Homo-oligomer: A and B are copies of this chain.
Amino acid sequence: MSDHTVGPEIERLIQLLAKLPGLGPRSARRAALHLVKRKDQLLGPLAEAMAIARDNVMECERCGNIDTVSPCTVCTDPRREDSVLVVVEDVADLWALERAKASRGRYHVLGGVLSPLDGVGPDDLSIESLVERATAADVREVILAINATVEGQSTAYYLTDRLVNCGVSVTRLAHGVPVGGELDYLDEGTLAAAMKARTEV
């Protein structure tokens, strides 16, 4: 888009929208057009919502969650269990677990997984602060809710190793058949794991 039909204002909007995950240059153009056609209903409100988020949203100094306060609402919620620490790769995983109401414990966002090929070592993740939090007297269990990818699993092994002297039990999420999932579409590793971990009905 370097033609003179689209003014620099729209051009800039398109370029920035194209940086969003899930939007390429073409869909960014469509989105920009959609926005400028709906100035009052969408473009204006979105500009404001973004300005508000920019001015108010921050990372929780304790767990790495994203919120308007730090420590975040989850960290300060008195109804949550201090004894359980759920370790996730990313804030998106934290949100997913919260939507599923999967845990009433606290969280710890690693900020990624170990990946020697991409130059991500232990110092690039918030592992020291995790060990520190896990050492606290009231923490009894650390749940590694890390993605079941190769890198995620090797990160989980590394963390288990680091947490072995913290006086906590280290657990991980169960492998198995997704609820509502069809066996025919599942990979063999998942099926084998689900079979191995079968439970009595």
A7 touches B49 (CB 8 A): no
Give A1-19 as 1s and 0s: 1 = Cβ < 8 Å from B's Cβ atoms. 1011111011011001101
B53 touches A10 (CB 8 A): yes
B20 touches A35 (CB 8 A): yes
Give A26-45 as 1s and 0s: 1 = Cβ < 8 Å from B's Cβ atoms. 01011111111101001111
Q: How many copies does the complex hold?
A: 2
How many residues of chain A are within 8 Å of chain B by beta carbon?
A: 57
**Chain B neighbourhood of A73, CB < 8 A:** 4-5, 7
**Residues on A facing B (Cβ under 8 Å):** 1, 3-7, 9-10, 12-13, 16-17, 19-23, 27, 29-37, 39, 42-47, 49-54, 56-57, 65-68, 73-74, 77, 90-92, 94-95, 98-99, 101
Min CB gap A190→B, angstroms: 21
**Chain B residue nearest in CB terms to A23:** B22
A53 touches B35 (CB 8 A): yes
**Chain B neighbourhood of A39, CB < 8 A:** 54, 57
For this complex, 16 residue pairs linking A to B, each with C-beta atoms less than 8 Å apart, are A4-B73, A5-B94, A5-B95, A7-B56, A7-B57, A7-B68, A7-B73, A9-B56, A9-B57, A16-B49, A20-B31, A20-B34, A21-B31, A22-B23, A22-B31, A23-B23
